[in-house]
Structure 1
């Protein structure tokens, strides 16, 4: 299995009582598949994994695996602040049918680079699932450096990295490590086009929750080397991607999903989108409908 293309980090729809809205969840899964999404992440940070009970995690992952039925890879967020807990979580995801584990650098504890090496080797050596490294220092307080990634890239159970740092120098350093069995994926929507034009194999996207057709098209164009068309589409998406950063993820994207009837609430300590941004959300939704309507499900062909 090689990960590539447009992969969506799924939001978790909650109803007005902040319980999982299974109807909205299945509609979101269906929308992603219909519009050509090439992989799905369940219970990552966009999915409010830290707010899910174990039984809810199991429900979401099991139902996604059953719904997808092998059509695209399903990745499970399994990263914890402790190595033994990460191993246990990865085994749990494997038992529920996930294809791979997306393992974020341990949040809050700020391990050294040697600690990161030991952590990821322990998870990969356990062998429950293929591992995708995930570096997002703005959230975790820990930055996995390219030399650490280089030391992990040859492990037979480590299949790639989702890199959320936006600097082109970081992406170039990682792309030098990309090989047939190790994929570099952008984890930053605003710079994903640039990363894929430079050689990244795909994007793990937040915005593709509401722009699945657009991100599939962007991925196809950039990965085929069609820079003018890719950059033109990226420019059209820029105001929407800027909006995604007005409040902490996943607040803006969940506001846009709520306007489409795909869930309503976040779980505390996250709050709904501020009133000051509601008009902008409505304007963004109009843009999204225009872009997605023009592209349509034909991108999945």
Structure 2
């Protein structure tokens, strides 16, 4: 797929899919395939595997490769498979991105390195991303997720990186409209896709053109609402954007308050397999799982 076609197809709705584990704490590859197929049947344009919600940081190299291989088997060629490949170092990230290419990923999503936070200035981040993009066999997207890693990708770094032919876009999981505006301004003269990662900010960002599509954790529970949100924004249907946005906001404030364990329980309430989250994340008790199921059923009824 050429980059222009890929960019057009990236301007859509994606789920940041959880990684299901068995009771023995192994990757549940059967459930992963079923979950992926179920998501795509509900109108999503593709799937992000090994993102923050996919517990990438909790998986071994072998497990990450397994997730991508299984994912590609169940994500049809007419849908986009995005692979989270960002690791702490540039060399490791390059190798991870090459592996994603071998597994058949369409694009790599590369989170900003964060271990040495004080050193993650614009110049160092530009050097990192250029090195990864130069070596990557597939296009890459930048990924700024300050709520989790406490590093915000500077707009000046984006401005320097949009020129690279193998960097085709970014995911902005922040909710600050000023920062989102600076990203759009940095990419104003380029065909550069920006995807939103905040369910709260997504409706406004879509309607004002600050993002072109979304990759949402909330889509684990309400994939239909995520798909409708983007479709309605594209059609200029403000009322439908507001309705879908309200459902995504509500699922984020209820199910999402429990983090990854909550998303997994919400997906289980939809009849799919979530499984446990890995330590040190806390799993839900029976009462919390029942509450998540109640919230999920109420929200599904409002679709």
Under a length normalisation based on structure 2, what TM-score does the superposition of the two structures give?
0.91
Task: Determine helix, strand or coil for the equivalent of 2:257.
Answer: coil
Q: Distance in 1 between matches of 2:207 and 2:91?
A: 38
Alignment match of 1:252 (pick from 249, 262, 265): 262
* Structure 1 position 275, deviation (Å): 5.7
Q: Is the 8 A contact 1:38 1:72 kept in 2?
A: yes
Determine the structure 1 residue equivalent to 2:147: 138
8 Å contact from structure 2 (residues 46, 75) kept in 1: no
SS in 2 for 1:101: strand
Q: CA deviation at 1:24?
A: 1.6
Q: Tell me, yes or no, if structure 1 residue 206 matches structure 2 residue 213.
A: no
Which of 90, 113, 129 lines up with 1:120 in the alignment? 129
SS of structure 2 residue aligned to 1:208: helix
Q: CA deviation at 1:232?
A: 2.5
In 2: Cα distance, 1:23 partner to 1:115 partner: 40
2: CA distance, partners of 1:251 / 1:65 = 25
Q: CA 1:72/1:179 → structure 2, altered by over 3 Å: closer, same or farther?
A: farther
Provide the alpha-carbon RMSD of the alignment: 1.7
CA 178–162 in structure 1, closer or farther in 2 if over 3 Å, else same: farther
The residue number in structure 2 matching 1:162 is: 171
What TM-score comes out, normalization by structure 1 length?
0.91
Q: How many residues align?
A: 291
2:220 and 2:266 in contact (8 A); partners too: no
What is the 5 A alignment of 1:44-59?
44-59=51-66
1:39 paired residue number: 46
Q: Which residue of 2 aligns with 1:76?
A: 83
Partner of 1:217: 228
Mind listing any 5+ residue stretches in structure 1 that lack a counterpart? 293-301
What is the SS of the residue equivalent to 1:204? strand
Unaligned runs of 5+ in 2: 1-5
The change in CA–CA distance for 1:48 and 1:236 in structure 2 (over 3 A counts) is closer
Q: CA 1:227–1:182 in structure 2 vs 1: closer, same or farther (change >3 Å)?
A: same
Q: Does 1:105 align with 2:112?
A: yes
Per the alignment, residue 253 of structure 2 pairs with 242
Q: Which one of the candidate residues 97, 100, 114 is aligned to 1:93?
A: 100
**Deviation readout 1:68-89 (Å, 9 max, x if unpaired):** 2312111111001111111111
Q: Is the 8 A contact 2:16 2:51 kept in 1?
A: yes
Looking at structure 2, the residues matched to 69 and 115 of structure 1 have their Cα atoms a distance apart, in angstroms, of 37
Is the partner of 2:15 in helix, strand or coil? strand
- Distance in 1 (CA, whole Å) between partners of 2:248 and 2:17 is 19
* Per-residue CA distance 1:80-125 (angstroms, 9 max, x = gap): 1111111111011111111110000002222111100100010011
CA distance in 1, matches of 2:32, 2:140: 25
Q: Distance in 2 between matches of 1:116 and 1:225?
A: 36
Rounded Cα–Cα distance in structure 2 between residues aligned with 1:257 and 1:268 = 19
Of 272, 282, 294, 1:271 maps to 282
Q: Distance in 2 between matches of 1:253 and 1:45?
A: 12
Aligned-pair CA distance for 1:237: 3.4
Match of 1:295 in 2: none
